[in-house]
Each structure stands twice: as C-alpha cells, then as structure tokens.
Amino acid sequence: MLQQQTQSPGWRVLNRDVIKYIAMTAMLLNHIANIFLVPGTLWYEVLVDIGYFTAITMCYFLVEGFRYTHSRKQYALRLFGFGVVSQVPFSMAFAQNGILEFQDFNMMFTLFLCFCILLCIETIRNRFLRGVLIVLLIFGSLFCDWAKISGILSLLAVDGFIVLGLVAFCTNVTSKMDLDEQTKETADSRKLSFVLPAIPETITDVPGRASYLALHWWNKFDFTDTLCLHLPEVTEQAFVDFIDILPSVDENTAVRALNTLLTLTRLEESGRVYRYFLTMSENYLYDPNSPLRNEELYSLVLDYVLRNTNDGDPERIRPLYQLGEVKKNRPGSIASDFLYMLHDGRKGWLHGLQSEYTLLYFYDPDCPDCRHTKRMLGELPSVAGLVESGRMQILAFYPDGDADAWESCRDVLPAGWLNTCDGTEELVVKDKLYAIRAIPSLYLLDGEKRVILKDADYNKLDAWLNEYLPAS
C-alpha cells in the first residue's frame, strides 16, 4: 500500500509569498478597472470585486507582521513612509477633473491606522480608553482607501477568524473549517480515544521503556480515519505527549519514531492527515513561541518531507528554507562571527571576547518582551553570579540599524553589558548570519564560541545554568 503512494501529498499548496503575489495582482486588476473601464460593465464589476480579496489578505499579514517584526517602530515608519511616497501617484491615478486631485489617502495609510489599532489593543489596558481610540482610528480610515473595513478585518484577524480561514486556504484543507452538526455528532458518537501501547514487563529500565513507547506510540491509532482531525483532545494531545517523550530517547530512536509517524499518516489517501501532522509539527517544534519548541526534532521532520518530495517541486521551497534556518548556529556548532560596534564607536568581533561563557542577547529597545527579558536576566542569580565573577559576558546586540533607537537605550542596560549594534551595515540581518525569527532571542556560547543554547528564553537559560553550573 505504501509503495503505491509515489507522490507526496505535499507540504503546502500555496505559501505566504504566493498569496501576497495573488493579492497584489488582484489589487492591480481592481485599479485597472477603476482607471480604464466603464463603471457598470461586466468586466468592471468582475475586476473590482476580485480586488476585494487584497484587503482580507493584507490585514492578515499585517497582524502576522505585527507579531513577528523585529521592530514595531520600524514597521510603522515603513508603512507611513510608503504611504507618503505613494500618495501622489495614487491621487494622479484617481483624479477626475485634472492631472492631480486628492480623493482620499491611499491604502498604505489605511494599513498604518490598522497597525495603530493593534498597538492600542496590546498597550492600552483601560478598556474604555482603548475602545474610544479604536473607534477613532476606524473613523480616521473613512478618509482612506478601503475605508473602515480594514480596521474591522484587522480586529477579526487578531481574534483568529481570518487566520483560520487563510490557514485552511494555504494548506489546501478540503473540508470546512467548522464541522457541521452531523459530523460533530458522528465524532462524538464514535467516542474515539487514544490507546497507549503496553510496554512489555521485560523492559524495566527507564530509557528502554521510553524508547519502546516512542517506537510503538501510534500502533493502535487509525490514520485512515479523518475524524481524528476534528478531535484535538485526542489527536493533538497524543501528538504533544509523543514529542514530549522524544527528547528522552537517543537520536536514532527519535528518527525511527518520527519516520514511522509520518509514514503512517500517508495511509490516508487525500493527504489531509499527513498535512495535519506536518502543521502540528511546525506549530509545536518550530514556532518560537511554543513551549515544546525543538528545532533538532523538527529538522528530522523536514528531512522526511524533503526525502519524499520530488526535486524541483515548489513544495520543497518552504521546508528547504526552514531547514537552512534550523542548521544555522545549531547547538554544538561554532557560532557565526560578526563585527559589533559600541556607543563610543569602538568595534570588535564576537570571537574576540575572552570569557568562559558568552550570552548573546538580540533585542529591540521598543520591544516590551525585550525589556522584561532584560530585567529577568539582571535578577536571575544563575546569570548574575556568572557575570559578577567574570565568567560570563553579555553582548546585547541591536540588529535593525536604527541609530536613534539604539542611542536611546545607551544608559538603560545594566552596567557591564556590552551594548552593541551592527558594525557592518546590518550584515548580521542582510547576510542572515543568525536565524532571528523573533525577539528577544538568547544564544549561550562556551569559551570557544560553541553554541550551547540556540534562540532560547531566559527560563531555558536559567534551567541549563542551574543544572550544569549549580555552583555558579
């Protein structure tokens, strides 16, 4: 049965870049209709309606960008700047009684207002004040292209409605996102449950029992039954428990266990179960906000996907990119060297630091999570002891190149930290020396600049220091 499945069900049908290109094309068609076609004609109405797709997708990506951007200040400035640059050609394109005529502000200003709405949601705690400001911002969008609809769509995207719809679209989910009542009743009546494998009594040691569980975890699970996709309390929970075991087994066992799982998922012919488990693997093992994040395990998933996808297939693009990010500065490798600059203009190389341990702290002065991490690093006894004894240096690195923003935090970092920015025209970011997918980001290096912890948070750092350096 497995030999007949020569083609992979696929990683994704459409990735984010493709969706963005589709959205831009849709907006172009909308503008062509508004400029060159007669209102009320068939082609005018068709092309105008196609353009409405852009508002939904751009609002979704705006919310996603708001969450993952290195600098929200820079993000907002870029939106506003592009709005200013685009206003003249926008006014020329839609002029009715002359060459240049103001109609309203272009959609980049609309997205800027939506970005401000997201800032209000995150930063303003007073519900009344927050509501008033959001209403005012939506009102302000009345003078912009897309009007008030974009603000509302952004709010929906925050709550997950648009996100769910786009995930379904991107992953080619053929069923509805919400099960109808009949399907729910069927799933409930079946009372599907996950049955753990019985460990032989002859296996008494803990590593042996963990290995047996990992290799036989899915023995009694029916991967051909797509109802499992709609029961997260069964399927998703079983997957979470499964990957929680894998760090306790050796690499060879982990490889075999993951390969077994992914091979079994392909028994379901439509590919829905396979894609479901790939998505869960990415969410739990690769997402920077996941408490179970484990890039080494995720690399095994990516290896499987690439082995079972034909060369030249567009579906290889995303896993290839992710595998490249995973391999950058992975634990055990020598960290990429880079040139940094201090506030007084002095420069130095990372590998030139002489200390038993080096803690790389990638940060942004406008990031609330960065400020919290900075405070916790200063309070953790495990870190403070190493810094005070001279065994650890902390190199705080601002990667975005905004001199004013960096200068503003000259005196806000603890004494003894190296407060640095890129001394080579943002090559750390442009050359992608480090996979900085979210900030703050911490890298712990040993005396030879070998990576101990990659892209960790302060809790993982504290746990490692207390386990391996309890005397510090």
pLDDT tens per residue, range 300-329:
999 999 999 988 888 889 999 999 999 999
> pLDDT at residue 5 above 50?
no
Once rounded to an integer, what is the mean pLDDT over residues 261-283?
A: 93
> pLDDT at residue 100 above 80?
no
Burial of 163 (C-beta count, 10 Å sphere; 0-12/13-18/19+): middle
The predicted pLDDT at position 171 comes to 34
> pLDDT at residue 102 above 90?
no
Residue 44 dihedral angles phi and psi, to the nearest 5°: -60, -50
Question: 445 and 437 in contact (C-beta within 8 Å)?
Answer: no
d(CA 46, CA 348): 59
Higher pLDDT, 315 or 401: 315
Residue 97 C-alpha from the chain's centroid:
47
Average pLDDT, the chain: 81
Span of 104-108, 137-141, 178-182 with lowest mean pLDDT: 178-182
Question: 216 and 200 in contact (C-beta within 8 Å)?
Answer: no
Higher pLDDT, 17 or 362: 362
Span of 15-24, 102-111, 388-397 with lowest mean pLDDT: 15-24
Once rounded to an integer, what is the mean pLDDT over residues 235-255?
A: 94
* Domain assignments of the chain as residue spans, ordered by start: 16-170, 189-327, 339-468
> Given CA atoms 160, 162, 168, 172 in this order, what sign does their dihedral have?
negative
Please report, for residues 56, 69, 157, the alpha-carbon distance to residue 61 in angstroms, rounded to integers and kept in the order given.
Answer: 9, 11, 9
Residue 120's identity, in one-letter code, is: C
d(CA 288, CA 67): 11
The predicted pLDDT at position 3 comes to 35
Span of 191-195, 220-224, 374-378, 396-400 with lowest mean pLDDT: 191-195
> pLDDT at residue 389 above 80?
yes
The predicted pLDDT at position 46 comes to 85
Instruction: Give the largest CA-CA distance in the chain.
Output: 89
Nearest to 262 by CA among 307, 212, 227, 320: 307
Q: Angle, to 10 degrees, between the axis of helix 235-245 and the axis of helix 206-216?
A: 140
Burial of 208 (C-beta count, 10 Å sphere; 0-12/13-18/19+): middle
d(CA 79, CA 149): 18
The predicted pLDDT at position 177 comes to 38
Query: pLDDT category, 156, cuts 50, 70, 90?
Result: low
pTM of the model: 0.60
> pLDDT at residue 394 above 90?
yes
> pLDDT at residue 399 above 80?
yes
Nearest to 461 by CA among 382, 346, 365: 382
For residue 229, the number of C-alpha atoms closer than 13 Å in the C-beta half-sphere is 25
The predicted pLDDT at position 161 comes to 38
Residue 288 dihedral angles phi and psi, to the nearest 5°: -65, -20
Q: How far apart are the first and last CA of the chain?
A: 57
Query: pLDDT category, 128, cuts 50, 70, 90?
Result: confident
Which CATH class, in words, describes the domain spanning 339-468? alpha beta
Long-range contacts of 216-223 (CB under 8 A, 24+ apart): 217/242, 217/245, 217/257, 217/261, 218/242, 218/260, 218/261, 218/264, 220/195, 221/194, 221/195, 221/264, 223/264, 223/265, 223/267, 223/268, 223/273
Span of 23-32, 110-119, 188-197 with lowest mean pLDDT: 188-197
Q: Bridge-partner residues for 144, per DSSP?
A: 105
Query: pLDDT category, 358, cuts 50, 70, 90?
Result: very high
The predicted pLDDT at position 169 comes to 37
Number of residues in the chain: 472
The predicted pLDDT at position 14 comes to 56
Strands 357-362 and 347-349: unpaired
The predicted pLDDT at position 392 comes to 94
Higher pLDDT, 409 or 371: 371
The predicted pLDDT at position 333 comes to 95
And the tokens for 377?
């690093």
